[in-house]
Amino acid sequence: MYQLVIANAEVITGAASFPADVGINGERIAAVGMGLQGERVVDAGGCYLIPGGVDAHVHLQTPVAKYVSSDDFRSGTVAAACGGTTSVIDFVHPQPEQPMLDALAARRAEADGRVVIDYGLHMNIPVWHADHRLDRIAKVMAAGIYSFKMYQAYGPLCLDDARLYEVLRALARHGALPILHSENGPVIDRLRSEALAAGHTAPIWHARTRPATLEAEAVGGALELARQAGAALLIVHVSCAESLDRIAAARREGQAAYGETCPQYLFLTGDKLAGEHGERFVCAPPLRHETDHAALWGGLARGELQILSTDHCPFTAAEKAAEPGFDGVPGGLPSIEARLGLAHDAARRGLLSLSRWVEICCTGPAHLFNLPRKGHVAPGYDADLVIFDPRCPVEVSAQGLHERVDWSPYEGLHLTGWPRDVFSRGEQIVRDGEFVGQAGRGRFIAIPPVERAGRPAGLA
Amino acid sequence: MYQLVIANAEVITGAASFPADVGINGERIAAVGMGLQGERVVDAGGCYLIPGGVDAHVHLQTPVAKYVSSDDFRSGTVAAACGGTTSVIDFVHPQPEQPMLDALAARRAEADGRVVIDYGLHMNIPVWHADHRLDRIAKVMAAGIYSFKMYQAYGPLCLDDARLYEVLRALARHGALPILHSENGPVIDRLRSEALAAGHTAPIWHARTRPATLEAEAVGGALELARQAGAALLIVHVSCAESLDRIAAARREGQAAYGETCPQYLFLTGDKLAGEHGERFVCAPPLRHETDHAALWGGLARGELQILSTDHCPFTAAEKAAEPGFDGVPGGLPSIEARLGLAHDAARRGLLSLSRWVEICCTGPAHLFNLPRKGHVAPGYDADLVIFDPRCPVEVSAQGLHERVDWSPYEGLHLTGWPRDVFSRGEQIVRDGEFVGQAGRGRFIAIPPVERAGRPAGLA
Amino acid sequence: MYQLVIANAEVITGAASFPADVGINGERIAAVGMGLQGERVVDAGGCYLIPGGVDAHVHLQTPVAKYVSSDDFRSGTVAAACGGTTSVIDFVHPQPEQPMLDALAARRAEADGRVVIDYGLHMNIPVWHADHRLDRIAKVMAAGIYSFKMYQAYGPLCLDDARLYEVLRALARHGALPILHSENGPVIDRLRSEALAAGHTAPIWHARTRPATLEAEAVGGALELARQAGAALLIVHVSCAESLDRIAAARREGQAAYGETCPQYLFLTGDKLAGEHGERFVCAPPLRHETDHAALWGGLARGELQILSTDHCPFTAAEKAAEPGFDGVPGGLPSIEARLGLAHDAARRGLLSLSRWVEICCTGPAHLFNLPRKGHVAPGYDADLVIFDPRCPVEVSAQGLHERVDWSPYEGLHLTGWPRDVFSRGEQIVRDGEFVGQAGRGRFIAIPPVERAGRPAGLA
Amino acid sequence: MYQLVIANAEVITGAASFPADVGINGERIAAVGMGLQGERVVDAGGCYLIPGGVDAHVHLQTPVAKYVSSDDFRSGTVAAACGGTTSVIDFVHPQPEQPMLDALAARRAEADGRVVIDYGLHMNIPVWHADHRLDRIAKVMAAGIYSFKMYQAYGPLCLDDARLYEVLRALARHGALPILHSENGPVIDRLRSEALAAGHTAPIWHARTRPATLEAEAVGGALELARQAGAALLIVHVSCAESLDRIAAARREGQAAYGETCPQYLFLTGDKLAGEHGERFVCAPPLRHETDHAALWGGLARGELQILSTDHCPFTAAEKAAEPGFDGVPGGLPSIEARLGLAHDAARRGLLSLSRWVEICCTGPAHLFNLPRKGHVAPGYDADLVIFDPRCPVEVSAQGLHERVDWSPYEGLHLTGWPRDVFSRGEQIVRDGEFVGQAGRGRFIAIPPVERAGRPAGLA
């Protein structure tokens, strides 16, 4: 007799799918079996039961230029939960002169009372910390941080090759996971200046000044540096076929190279920037082409890319349109709620298997970021579970979503399949699509170090 | 209360590993959970619990020239079982004029009273049947055959491109899975004749007359034909980096291309053919180089190759040495018992993850060949389970193995890790390494057709 | 004082271009210099002076099915000459039971009294000769044949891999140059049968049943066989990017792999087959896509392809349209006269340099086929020279050309640049675009063997 | 009747080889012909006659750290002449605050009274000039400079990506040719610091801290920047297979990408740095492996690399050994005199054709750098000619060479073939291997701009 049984589901994991019941005691899964008895029983007949989604790349209540991303830790995690995501990983942004541990404490203070699901944090390594604070990595890791993010773009955040190499070396020594925003920022800055000087201020120039070649060039260079440094490396928000090719080639050489992509690079093209409200679609790297969509789906299906995150960073339509030129638009798109639904619809259309869907959205990110007890349907794991109705028709609209933003890049898109009920550590927090949990119930996930972070591709 | 509980194991599946108990009722797994109660309890503390292995490529009591492979369906499946394999797939060899269904019945008659584990069958398509019997495919499939094997080598078996294309088309129409022995047989035959005419009869000339380029050329050509025919294609016993490259490239193009390799191509090199008893190591494709080993391990780790089978086809030392020239040696090596142990040892040394070990040896072949209820540890699956002791030291020797052959290609090799107990449909058939089951208890696995056999790479 | 001086030209060779006069005594070039004095002086001011073109692939008065190509050795070589070509290489087609030397004598008898320029011959190796006549290669070479052609398509001509390998070995032993029509004929035959059985008889089905993948697959396989056989190999009429890639890859591996393409694969697309009089555009390999044009021009510019020939094989509009289905159309296009003009126009548009233009049309084929004293503007070479007016506007039309065929695939195409005067061994045979020579003045070019035929790529 | 006739030679050009005489009037070639009459006749029977070599990369009397390269413009050009080189291109090194035209004038003042052959100059673009002086490019070009060199390494010279892009854009606008020292300097600097901090001061650490991956990464990145900037780009001293692959790939994409290599990267390996006097072999990029030699020869043979220069930068044995650590060794090797002999010997051994030998040593660099009237044997060209004895046995030794340096990296190497007589603008300056000319007779070569500098690969 289990405290809670989710019965009659088609369980889908990264390895297989099969009909079963799941028994839950307290916060954990106690059994996966046939005919389990429960004090409470939730019938999931006709639905999939999958591990709660893990979105390893979100930016909640995050300052960008003079704006702050419009989802705070409460509204953002509510939207995530309604979309079937039960863990997110956000970022710590240490300021100049601010010790990393202080920044971590401050960031946790922003999140802890608000989050409705569990969350982890990546630590940013800006220039100043790259130069002077690498000796603090061990302490930061002891405080529950496993992954550190660097940038090859964005002015003051941008690490040059020598600094990037130095940080990669330091992270490799400590067994931390380096993650990287990879675009050739300095050259992009020149292209932007040239475009603006020539009066090209329309949103499409955001894409024209960030060509795929400059992303791929940065990715290729960073992978060589990681090889030289003996470090693993995750390239985030891979947007184009050329970057994928570099990652796949590094993996074929045995390197511990990983890649993440996001729904916007799989469903939207740069044409959006040339249309009405083009400014809303400003994000970096920019939206690309349909040929890139096809390449990236292939990369996800074959395992050359391991995870699908959102880079969720919403701004309101008014904020997006406040400045006249593309360089004044706060960058970022909302995607946190539709991620599983979008990817399921692609699986339904044959672009990847259902197991691979679960792998890239749930199990893969939990595994890659070493989240304890997350991402799988098996005894001992946290009872983070999603009852997903594969036949539910959905028309995506800002109004229907729980994100705190008044537009959606997927507005009007018809999908089949959406989360019905969501459980976080055994507690039901979404019922029939509506949030029923409490703010602040989520917990910080302290991530322990991994024995061998720089393990070769294929061993993740 | 389950009839049988395997307790305290570290369960390893293709998706994850976690401590759990497994409860079994009758022939099936009933639950995977914590603290399960059983009428009978087998303690697996300190051991892995994995799905029973699936060896999708064996040749038991099979005539080759004037010999018959030395393991019959009893001895061969006992050895398989002791090595942790609970399903094998052997072949039907229809003779000229012999209808495929008759050949199937005859082959089942050879196996049914002898097998100790479950078995499936591939149907060979020799020239004669390629020309005249393709209209029988549906009936053969209705009799439980899902996979059909063709040869690009071996004289009378060898299909030329036009026939190969025709068979691929027919199989694609029926949703069957084509599998292929891919070497350029006609050119190899010329090289053999030249070598023999020049008096080169030593075993090393077996390898010299079957160069990797002629395997890769055949693989590349066959994949193009499969693309043209809209057919999936599994290349069996991939032996060299060049062939792997062709398969990986086809998969990157979205083709439903699959690859199998075998322990001999991962652990042994062609040098064996030049050493003492070199004739024992005659098999086709021939043993290659250490650089090929590295490439093939990478292919298995990255998913470019999906399954590890054995091509088990043993002949005694005396049979191997009976004829003076390499062309008179019956081809084939024994590997059926050491497969899981060899691959685990490689995982232990870091060449692939434990999950990937289970995937290529158990779950992957069950999935690729659509074996119902095989290859996974989850409720509803057959209770084909292996308690694998990862610390057990083993020195491989013919004497210690259960194969009915007086030598082993791995003689003297030290491994760490070996199956301890093995269960087949809930019945324990190996205890502490010794076979305790009954001949004839195994069953023929009738494989149902798959909805979409030609699914793109990554969807398998 | 030279017998003839061509003065004030811009001499263009494979290495450079420079203003100079050319002095000629008898049949040979005596000097290239400044201010040369001549008994007769032809002013070439404002024009290029280039070596006479070498068209290494023509089919004059050649039986194809129940037709004979409409240009005989006289009309065809007149057209060639008017187009700036002063040497052609045609084919000997030995019939079953006919010794190769007899066939050579018969073919020379057809040509000798008719040709107006010098000509060489390739020897075809059909199946029957591949099986029984390879011991005659030395005698055929002694009679002035250096290159031997095989087919991987075309029913009775088609050599399977074993025969192809055998012939390649034999040719390599003798230092002859193997040349190959590379398409997977047996599979194409199946596709054709399928298409016809389904009632698809329109010309476009000629292209649809000869896909690029089946050309590339054959090219790749043949190159592997050549590598195995230690033979050089020229792939003729390369039509697609995929085949080019195989040749380039083989060259990067150091193989003596060569490639020819033709104007039709650089200027025409398969769409022609779907248009009015689509049947006229039936040739094999079929016309492809614009992306292939771009790839092939790149291959010519970079040296991955070495020569531009025509595969000239004209049939009248009535012959082309005589049969209702695509399979009844005699294959082949006329191109012999426009070759230099077409390629020059491409150079003018920046697709390749003028030196490379001369290289692929004149020097390269002379060099690759070892034609003595042909293909270059330097002392001692035959005075085969073309005064080419780079500003001459031309609208291509069947009426304006000298080919004996009532249509042109390039009808209506506007080019800039055309041959003005042409000299063959010192004798002017074209003046202001009109033929002024004599039938039968051309000579058979007996080609001596080359010391090392199988020299690596880059050494040709 | 010519003033000078070189008679009975085998003329070798980039396009062909043929026996001929060459007639010279004044400084220019007047005719290439048979039986030319001369006031003076030099018999070249049994020898090759080739264009004078062009060494496009030399560093004469150049300050490096606290040393100055030991060959001044006199001794260095005498050595060049004796080795068959009749044009060199050296560098202008503008200092901070020094206008480029002033630096050019100063450099010409150092050279003009000393050079015995003609010379051109590349202009260095150090950081300071990249930031503030790009508006002077037109004036510098008007003064006879066509090529501008940037560095991705070497501390103060090192341009970061943004600067490199900016300079490439500016040069592309002016039709100048960018040339680049491509290694990831900033990361190499870190590796050097790490090595030195660990006490690794031996010469082999020079190579270990400059790995091929960091060269290839820089090459790949620079080529992407050049593509983005619409600029041609010549990568100098390509040392490894990985860099070659990047250049070849860019060329296949249609980019105007060029590559130079040097004898040291074709004949010497990094093992030299671990041997006696290892410090002498310090140069950057460092010496690599035999597999790189093979790859680079292939690249030269196939045209992926266009020119063979020396990067001649000699220091005496004492200067090389003056400092204890590898970081104190002045970098550079002497090669100016042996270049043609070394490359001829490779051609003799079958690594490239004689025409390609002439192309990479003479015609190619003259063409790529647009040197007027240099690099070819044809009327109108400067009579810069070399009578090369292909059978002359040579044992390379510092004593036998004319370089002003007391050691040679090729000491003891046996070659077959060496220049016998050398002519510069019609004047004989080397007779039977000994220099017979006058210091100061050489002239500055003012290079005019080229119409289209950024012409695609294959059009050079």
Domain boundaries, chain A: 2-51+376-435, 53-368
pLDDT reading at C156 higher than 90:
no
Q: Is C160 on the interface with B (CB under 8 A)?
A: yes
> What is the Cα–Cα distance from B215 to D444, expressed in whole angstroms?
59
> What residues in C contact D460, CB-CB < 8 Å?
353
The phi and psi torsions of B395 (rounded to 5 degrees) equal -110, 115
The answer, yes or no, to whether ipTM is higher than 0.85 is yes
Question: Looking at residues B114-127, what average pLDDT do you find?
Answer: 96
- Per the structure block, which two tokens stand in for D370? 């647009």
CA proximity to D266, closest of D246, D247, D248, D287: D287
- Per the structure block, which two tokens stand in for D130? 């990249």
DSSP for A154-203 reads: SGGGB--HHHHHHHHHHHHHHT-EEEEE-S-HHHHHHHHHHHHHTT--ST
Q: Is D359 on the interface with C (CB under 8 A)?
A: yes
Q: What is the mean pLDDT of chain C?
A: 95
Q: Is residue B129 very low, low, confident or very high in pLDDT (cuts 50, 70, 90)?
A: confident
Chains that touch C (3 or more CB pairs under 8 A): B, D
Q: Which residues pair with D333 in a beta bridge?
A: D312
Q: Which residues pair with A259 in a beta bridge?
A: A235
Question: Looking at residues B257-278, what average pLDDT do you find?
Answer: 97
Q: Is C252 on the interface with D (CB under 8 A)?
A: yes
Q: In Å, how far from its chain's centre is CA C46?
A: 28
The pLDDT value recorded for residue A288 is: 98
The pLDDT value recorded for residue A142 is: 96
The residue in chain C having the minimum alpha-carbon distance to the alpha carbon of residue D296 is C252
pLDDT reading at C459 higher than 60:
no
Question: Looking at residues A147-171, what average pLDDT do you find?
Answer: 94
| CB burial string D331-349: b at 16+ within 10 A, e below | bbbbbbbbbbbbbbbbbbe
Q: Which residues pair with C53 in a beta bridge?
A: C85
> What residues in A contact B302, CB-CB < 8 Å?
251-252, 303, 457-458
> What residues in A contact D184, CB-CB < 8 Å?
161, 221, 224-225
> What is the Cα–Cα distance from B323 to C13, expressed in whole angstroms?
64
The residue in chain A having the minimum alpha-carbon distance to the alpha carbon of residue D185 is A162
DSSP 8-class letter at A362: I
| CB burial string B199-235: b at 16+ within 10 A, e below | ebebbbbbbbbbbbbbbbbbbbbbbbbbbbbebbbbb
Are the beta carbons of A166 and D190 separated by less than 8 Å? yes
**3-class DSSP assignment, residue A102:** helix
**Which member of A220, A225, A228 has the closest CB to residue D220?**
A220
Q: What percent of chain A has pLDDT over 70?
A: 98
Phi/psi-derived region of residue C2, left when phi > 0, alpha when psi is between -120 and 50, beta in every other case: beta
The residue in chain D having the minimum alpha-carbon distance to the alpha carbon of residue C381 is D18
Q: Strands D17-25 and C414-424: what pairing?
A: unpaired
Residue that the structure tokens 């069996």 belong to: B236
- Give the H/E segment covering residue D130: helix D127-132
Are the beta carbons of C376 and D19 separated by less than 8 Å? no
Chains that touch D (3 or more CB pairs under 8 A): A, C
Which has the higher per-residue pLDDT, D453 or A430? A430
pLDDT reading at B438 higher than 70:
yes
Q: Which residues pair with A278 in a beta bridge?
A: none
Are the beta carbons of D31 and C30 separated by less than 8 Å? no
Are the beta carbons of C162 and B190 separated by less than 8 Å? yes
Q: Is residue A135 very low, low, confident or very high in pLDDT (cuts 50, 70, 90)?
A: confident
Q: What is the mean pLDDT of chain A?
A: 95
Chains that touch A (3 or more CB pairs under 8 A): B, D
Q: Is D347 on the interface with A (CB under 8 A)?
A: no
> What is the Cα–Cα distance from A274 to A288, expressed in whole angstroms?
12
**3-class DSSP assignment, residue D315:** coil
Q: Is D382 on the interface with C (CB under 8 A)?
A: no
Are the beta carbons of B190 and C160 separated by less than 8 Å? no
> What is the Cα–Cα distance from B383 to B433, expressed in whole angstroms?
18
Question: What CATH fold (topology level) applies to the domain B2-51+376-435?
Answer: Urease, subunit C; domain 1 (2.30.40)
Question: Looking at residues B231-253, what average pLDDT do you find?
Answer: 97
Q: Is C213 on the interface with D (CB under 8 A)?
A: no
Q: Is residue B451 very low, low, confident or very high in pLDDT (cuts 50, 70, 90)?
A: low
Q: For residues C302 and D458, is the Cβ–Cβ distance under 8 A?
A: yes
> What residues in B contact C213, CB-CB < 8 Å?
224, 227-228
> What residues in A contact B350, CB-CB < 8 Å?
455-456, 459
The pLDDT value recorded for residue A131 is: 83
Q: Is A19 on the interface with B (CB under 8 A)?
A: yes
Chain A with chain B: Cβ pairs closer than 8 A: 140
Q: What is the dihedral of CA B401, B407, B410, B416, to 10 degrees?
A: 20
> What is the Cα–Cα distance from C340 to C263, expressed in whole angstroms?
9
DSSP for A111-128 reads: HHTT-SSEEEEEEE--HH
Are the beta carbons of C350 and D455 separated by less than 8 Å? yes
> What is the Cα–Cα distance from A339 to A342, expressed in whole angstroms?
5
Are the beta carbons of C228 and B221 separated by less than 8 Å? no
Q: Is C106 on the interface with B (CB under 8 A)?
A: no
Q: Quick: pLDDT tens for A78-132.
A: 999 999 999 999 999 999 889 999 999 999 999 999 999 999 999 999 888 888 8
pLDDT reading at A4 higher than 80:
yes
Q: For residues A72 and A114, is the Cβ–Cβ distance under 8 A?
A: yes
Q: Which residues pair with B333 in a beta bridge?
A: B312
The alpha-carbon gap from A376 to the nearest alpha carbon of chain B, in Å, equals: 8
pLDDT reading at B458 higher than 60:
no
Q: Is residue B460 very low, low, confident or very high in pLDDT (cuts 50, 70, 90)?
A: very low
The pLDDT value recorded for residue C131 is: 83
The pLDDT value recorded for residue C152 is: 96
> What is the Cα–Cα distance from B136 to D125, expressed in whole angstroms?
76
- Give the H/E segment covering residue C55: strand C53-55
Q: For residues A59 and A335, is the Cβ–Cβ distance under 8 A?
A: no
The pLDDT value recorded for residue C451 is: 61
Instruction: Mention the CATH class of domain A53-368.
Output: alpha beta
CA proximity to A159, closest of A225, A231, A88, A73: A225
- Give the H/E segment covering residue B434: strand B434-435
Q: Quick: pLDDT tens for A319-377.
A: 999 999 999 999 999 999 999 999 999 999 999 999 999 999 999 999 999 999 999 99
- Per the structure block, which two tokens stand in for B359? 């995937």
Residue A439 burial (C-beta neighbours within 10 Å; 0-12, 13-18, 19+): middle
**Which member of C161, C190, C216 has the closest CB to residue B187?**
C161
Low-confidence ranges of chain D (pLDDT < 50): 452-460
Which has the higher per-residue pLDDT, B418 or A65? B418
Are the beta carbons of D460 and C20 separated by less than 8 Å? no
**Which member of B161, B211, B214 has the closest CB to residue C184?**
B161
Q: Is residue B457 very low, low, confident or very high in pLDDT (cuts 50, 70, 90)?
A: very low
Q: Is residue A155 very low, low, confident or very high in pLDDT (cuts 50, 70, 90)?
A: confident
Question: Looking at residues A280-305, what average pLDDT do you find?
Answer: 98
**Which member of D165, D190, D227 has the closest CB to residue A165?**
D190
Which residues 169-198 of C have a C-beta within 8 angstroms of B? 184, 186-187, 189-191
CB-based contacts of A110, cutoff 8 Å, min separation 6: A61, A73
DSSP for C299-315 reads: HHHHTSS-EE---B---
Are the beta carbons of A161 and D187 separated by less than 8 Å? yes
- Per the structure block, which two tokens stand in for B98? 């012999």
**3-class DSSP assignment, residue A242:** helix
Amino acid at B62: T
Are the beta carbons of A459 and B301 separated by less than 8 Å? yes
Q: Which residues pair with B28 in a beta bridge?
A: B25, B382
Which residues 296-325 of A have a C-beta within 8 angstroms of B? 298, 300-303
> What is the Cα–Cα distance from C208 to B126, expressed in whole angstroms?
29
Interaxial angle between packed helices B290-302 and B241-252, expressed in degrees from 0 to 180 and rounded to the nearest 10: 20
Residue C215 burial (C-beta neighbours within 10 Å; 0-12, 13-18, 19+): buried
CB-based contacts of B170, cutoff 8 Å, min separation 6: B134, B137
Q: In Å, how far from its chain's centre is CA A302?
A: 19
Q: Quick: pLDDT tens for B322-352.
A: 999 999 999 999 999 999 999 999 999 999 9
Interaxial angle between packed helices D290-302 and C241-252, expressed in degrees from 0 to 180 and rounded to the nearest 10: 130
Half-sphere exposure for B148 (CA within 13 Å, toward CB): 30
**Which member of A162, A190, A228 has the closest CB to residue D213?**
A228
CA proximity to C336, closest of C374, C308, C300, C296: C308
Q: Is residue B246 very low, low, confident or very high in pLDDT (cuts 50, 70, 90)?
A: very high
Q: Which residues pair with D288 in a beta bridge?
A: D269
Alpha helices in A230-312 (DSSP H): 241-252, 264-267, 271-274, 290-302
The pLDDT value recorded for residue C258 is: 98
- Give the H/E segment covering residue B232: none
CB-based contacts of D52, cutoff 8 Å, min separation 6: D84, D85, D86, D87, D117, D362, D374, D375, D382, D384, D385, D386, D422, D423, D424
Q: Is A209 on the interface with D (CB under 8 A)?
A: no
Are the beta carbons of B455 and A350 separated by less than 8 Å? yes
> What is the Cα–Cα distance from A10 to A28, expressed in whole angstroms?
19
